[in-house]
Structure 1
Amino acid sequence: MIVLPTAVRKAILERAREGSPEEICGVLGGEYEPDGRSRVRSQYPAENVAETPRTRYEIDPEQQLTIFERLEDRGEEIVGFYHSHPRGPPRPSATDAARATWPDRSYVIVSLEPLEVGSWRWRAESTDGRFERERIVDD
């Protein structure tokens, strides 16, 4: 389960609308629980540096490191990541699964058509890895 405050959800949705038709992305900070209830406290927008930003996302490694340092300075943990699917469902694509690298972290996906937010945890314990849907609750 992931606790995603309304204010954070609204901020991510607004970024997704403004960034369309390209995917937007960022990092979620807060309290991380590998098998329990993670709580998002903040979101850190990042630039999408993918070669094809309309269908892929990639956070610049240097910017990601800067965000991680800000999280640590604020006493937060990496809860997970978020990105948008401007014209797709709020579930991981095959590319999302192939590029997932943070075990047990949440991957929040915002869909604009239809307007919906989904969250998934990356479980890497199997040989090919897989996403498990997780429940989103407001705080």
Structure 2
Amino acid sequence: MLTARKILVLNGPNLNLLGKRQPEIYGHETLGDVEAECRSIAAELGFSVDFRQSNAEHELISWLHEARETVAGIVINPAGYSHTSVAIMDALAACPCPIIEVHISNIHRREAFRHHSYVSHVATGVICGCGTQGYTLALRRLSVLLEKVTP
């Protein structure tokens, strides 16, 4: 059953180490900080947030399958799976809602293998290089997109 104002915020591998792993690239905010900010902005926009993280590809895919019929939009930071997972791309392609892909760093200024994202092929929009603010930008963009389809 669709929960009209619910947004899934999905985080891929190693994001549980945010704030500890390579802070010179990813910053000092923790995933808990990102979640708190997402919940605050979502409440301001009239959304609820289902915020999740997994290092397991199959778990991310199962959550996307569940989301197909329960959320109005998806924000996803697929992390390293951006560049490798056709399966996550396919799961997202089966979702009828808008999808915003987020990357904390600018993947286009990094190693060549990071320049390609399978997820970008099915995302409605992509935000990269804005630090953790990319998540709140994504929520604001979803709000605009969803207002266009809500009577």
Higher helix proportion: 2
Q: Calculate the TM-score normalised by the size of structure 2.
A: 0.31
Q: Calculate the TM-score normalised by the size of structure 1.
A: 0.33
